[in-house]
Structure 1
Amino acid sequence: MIPKHEVLKIIQSSFLPLHCTCMLHDGGTMTIEVTDPANGHIDLLVVGVPLAPLTNIRAISNLVAELRQELQANQEWFAAEQRQGVWPRR
């Protein structure tokens, strides 16, 4: 079993050079927020991620892979919105 603080460090370092913050909650869940330090925009926010399944490196790696896919999809969507002049909304 990997200690919670190590799980958080692994996840947070997986998104460099972006800034990743993991916040633990009662009930064994966490919130993961990935921001772009260049502009401060939140590129990914995931609430209620369960900690219980993150007992080994493979499980953590699978979670990080899923989060990276969501992050990429979000970044592509925002870029498309900006190109169309829809985002940011005023």
Structure 2
Amino acid sequence: MFLSALELRNIIESSFLPKRCQCTLTPDLSMSIKVYADGQTDQVDLLVTGIDASTLNGCREINDLIAGLRTEIQHRAELQTLHPDRQAL
């Protein structure tokens, strides 16, 4: 990994602004990312665990991770719009 844990967390968390994002990184480089629906509530839009941060060796890998997470959030929001009575998976 070419960035410190603090730098990596800052990049990922700030990429979801204005939403609140919490990124945790364990000593074995296992990462969890939690994106909240807004800044005022604790409603979670997305929770991803078990990300291998050792594979984030450059800007491209970090960007691909963030893009994938944003796509997943958008997909879940679209499903919720189509089926408001169903719980997001």
Superimposed CA distance per residue, residues 39-70 of structure 1 (whole angstroms, 9 cap, x where no aligned partner): 43211110101110112111101110111111
Instruction: Tell me the C-alpha RMSD between the 2 structures.
Output: 1.6
**Number of the residue aligned with 1:80:** 82
Instruction: Name structure 2 gaps, 5 residues minimum.
Output: none
Identity %, equivalent residues: 34
Instruction: Name structure 1 gaps, 5 residues minimum.
Output: none
TM-score if structure 1 supplies the norm length?
0.83
**Number of the residue aligned with 2:34:** 33
The 8 Å contact of residues 7 and 54 in structure 1, kept in 2 or not, is answered as no
TM-score if structure 2 supplies the norm length?
0.84
Matches within 5 A, 1:1-90: 1-37=2-38, 38-82=40-84, 86-87=85-86
Question: Which residue identity is paired with 1:20?
Answer: C
SS in 1 for 2:54: coil
- Whole-Å Cα distance in 2 between the matches of residues 39 and 75 of structure 1? 17
Please say which structure displays the higher CA radius of gyration.
1
